[in-house]
Every structure is written in C-alpha cells, then in structure tokens.
Amino acid sequence: MNRGRLFSSWGMVSLLLALLAGTVAGEEPTVHYRLLATSRTSTMANELNAAAREGCRFEAFMGGGTLVPGNELVAIIRRLPADDAERYEYRLLATNRTSTMEREMAQAGADGFLFRGQTIYDSTFGGREVVVVLERHAGAPPRRYQYRLLATNKTSTMERELQAAARDGFIFLGETVAETAFGGDEVVVILGRPGE
C-alpha cells in the first residue's frame, strides 16, 4: 500500500470535512471559486483577465467535451481575500505548431509571464491545439523567464532531451500526451528557468 497516497487522501478528506463543517455551521466559506467555460481561446483569455481585475487568480484548466455546447476550455479561478493587494494578468497561448508555441513562449517569458498550466484542446477554428496559460503580477516589474518546449512521439527521445535540458538549468513545468497537429500522438513537455 502506498502510505503517501493514503495520507494525502485522508488529508484531503479532513480538509473537505473542515470546509463543510464551517458551511453547515452557517459560516461563510473562506475560499470562493468560480468556473469559466468557453469554446474560444480568445474568450477564455479575456475572461481570465477580467476576473483577475476583480481580484481572482487562476487555479487550473482543461480542455474537453462538455454536455452543452460540446468542446470547451474550463478554468477554475479563486477569489483572493479582500485584503490581498496582489493582482495578476494572464496570457493564453494556443497553437498546433511547435515553432509557433516556442516563439510565443519566448516572448511571454521575456514579458515576465510565468507558466501556470497546459492542456490539449479541440478548438472550433484552430483544430487540436496545445493551450498554455501564463501569469504575471500586474504592475510589478517583470521578472524574465526562459522556456523550452520538447515534442516527440518517442519516449526514449524525450528522456534524452529532458536530461539535456536539465543540464542547461531547465526544470519541468508541465506535459500533455495526446494526438496533436505537432506530429500525431506526442508527448509535449514545457520546461523553464529564470531569465538572464
């Protein structure tokens, strides 16, 4: 039995029960979530930034089929406490070409955006795309980041490329495994390091 998994499961159950106990007792929950869902990546970018201006922060997202209207990007955002002065802004990148994603991520890193998540999404206009969400503190001097994107359909090749990237100081940020227009069934890995 995996004790770490058991502990984390019990820890999550305890947290959930504590939150429910507060709600049942008539207290306001301390965490407020919102769900954003749209079939257009440009709309999701606009909605993320509008919510961020209202004091929300991105938590996670995924692309996939929903009952109505079909394929959507679904994001979970969390409202920051009222006394939290931090504000964020978001950039959403979506493409089915490795070279385009590398170029756009390089620009986002130079602009101070930090990787927050990625998914595969069947968009109405772009087809099957890798979608990436990046975040930066609004109004703060940007800290620069460098990104490296690896895409291959051979796991042995990916392992060698990951080791080479690690030697260059890059750390793993996220991966997707799916059929993409990058080249069929592929592992797409994004790595990053602080910029110079």
Residues 106-158: tens digit of each pLDDT: 999 999 999 999 988 876 655 678 889 999 998 878 799 999 999 888 888 88
What average pLDDT score do residues 90-118 get? 91
DSSP 135-171: EEETTSPPPPEEEEEEEES-HHHHHHHHHHHHHTT-E
Q: Is the pLDDT score of 9 beyond 60?
A: no
Q: What is the model's pTM? A: 0.76
How far from 76 is each of 7, 32, 123, 136, CA to CA, in Å? 25, 10, 19, 17
What is the per-residue pLDDT for 192?
96
Q: Is the pLDDT score of 19 beyond 60?
A: no
What is the per-residue pLDDT for 4?
40
Cis ω for the linkage preceding 194 (within 30 of 0): no
Taking the mean position of all CA atoms in its chain, how far away is CA 59? 8
